Structure 1
Amino acid sequence: MARRLGSDETALWKKVAATVKPLPKAKAPLAPTAPPTVRPPPPTPRNTAAPAAPLVSRPLAPLPPPRRTHQAATLDGHWDRRLRKGLVRPDLSIDLHGHTLASAQALLDEAIGRGLLRGARVLLVVAGRLRPGADRLPQMHGDPRPRGAIRASLPDWLAYSPHADGIVALRPAHISHGGAGAVYVILRRTRDD
């Protein structure tokens, strides 16, 4: 229940009310309007040609280098037999264990470039065994790639390497050089004429 004002409170309220000016009467709110409609441009007749805009020629983005498959590259039978039997001694070797994918790819490109400069013919790349499922995409939410990711990436790295033209073939290594955990990268020899 609301209480009633006392006589002194009523007198005070009348003084306060006498100082207040009434607000001007508010206008009635406007009725909501419909959103503006957008009319499509009128269709152009088919028999009249619209003026042609000047063509702006943009430079095309460079295409990636053609993909080379070094695994299917053929060597002469003599070379393949010698590689399978372990009779070829590598000129250079690198070990990619413990590297990230990015650092392993950079190290591989550097080693191939160094081998080509030295005139090396066989580069031994120790990358670890290829595990089942290693060639699939990485799992989401921070799960690491399966083991063998570096080994699974080698063919693609060699195909898109800046030194791809200097690579002749990719072959599995002999058991004495690491077996399934390593590969031979056969490099092209530069001929001095």
Structure 2
Amino acid sequence: MATVRPLRAVAATVPKPVPTSEPAKRSSTQAALRSVPQPKKRAEPPAKAVPGITLDGGWDKKLSRGLVTPDATIDLHGHTLHSAHDLLDGALARSIARGDRVILLVTGKPPRPESERPHARGAIRAAIGDWLGGSRHAGSIAAVRGAHPRHGGQGALYIVLRRPRG
């Protein structure tokens, strides 16, 4: 430890606030403090559907390469928002009861940007994160990831369930 030196010394100089009772001077002191450059904060990782719960690198690698075979598939094509929510809730309950680990949720691909006609599609896909985060099964969901092209790509999601506590 005696030979270890810091890479570089960083000296932070912050002006001391001047105690005064006049509001005009106080605002100029606060403006001077705001002009001092603040240290940059680290970028936060992208938010998951279920915050605070993540997968290890092995799971993420298998999912991104399409090496995981889903235990169940839920297809929401042709459903309204209400019927899709009910179908998703019931299917999650059945999968958790069976002890499934990976569910393939097919929502349908978003419309292409070069499409000419206006689309009202994508409402189910947009609501999935809220549904899963606020569902009664949220504690059983370990992660939600985009599907590999062999399982539907942009039109599908993997829902990884937590291992059942025995």
Q: What range is the shorter-chain TM-score in? A: 0.5 to 0.7
SS in 2 for 1:184: strand
Question: Is 1:90 equivalent to 2:64 in the alignment?
Answer: no
Give the structure 1 partner of residue 11 of structure 2: none
Cα deviation 1:38-92 (Å, max 9, x = unaligned): xxxxxxxxxxxxxxxxxxxxxxxxxxxxxx8327742100000000000000000
Question: Aligned to 2:138, which of 151, 157, 164?
Answer: 164
For the 8 Å contact 1:71–1:170, the answer to whether it is kept is: no
For the 8 Å contact 1:72–1:169, the answer to whether it is kept is: no
Q: Quote the Cα distance in structure 1 between the aligned partners of 2:83 and 2:108.
A: 15
Q: Summarize the Cα distance change of 1:90–1:159 in structure 2 as closer, same or farther, 3 Å threshold.
A: same
Superposed, 1:35-184 pairs within 5 Å as: 69-70=49-50, 73-131=53-111, 146-184=120-158
Q: Quote the Cα distance in structure 2 between the aligned partners of 1:165 and 1:116.
A: 11
Aligned identity (percent) is 54
For the 8 Å contact 1:173–1:183, the answer to whether it is kept is: yes
Q: Quote the Cα distance in structure 1 between the aligned partners of 2:165 and 2:122.
A: 36
Matched positions, count: 115
For the 8 Å contact 1:130–1:148, the answer to whether it is kept is: yes
Q: Summarize the Cα distance change of 1:148–1:72 in structure 2 as closer, same or farther, 3 Å threshold.
A: farther
SS in 1 for 2:62: helix
Residue identity matched to 1:187: L
Structure 1, unmatched stretches of 5+, are 1-67, 133-143
Q: Quote the Cα distance in structure 1 between the aligned partners of 2:139 and 2:68.
A: 22
Q: Quote the Cα distance in structure 2 between the aligned partners of 1:76 and 1:95.
A: 27
Provide runs of 4+ in structure 1 moved above 4 Å. none
For the 8 Å contact 1:124–1:185, the answer to whether it is kept is: yes
Q: Summarize the Cα distance change of 1:113–1:163 in structure 2 as closer, same or farther, 3 Å threshold.
A: same
More helix by share: 2
Per-residue deviation at 1:130?
Answer: 3.4
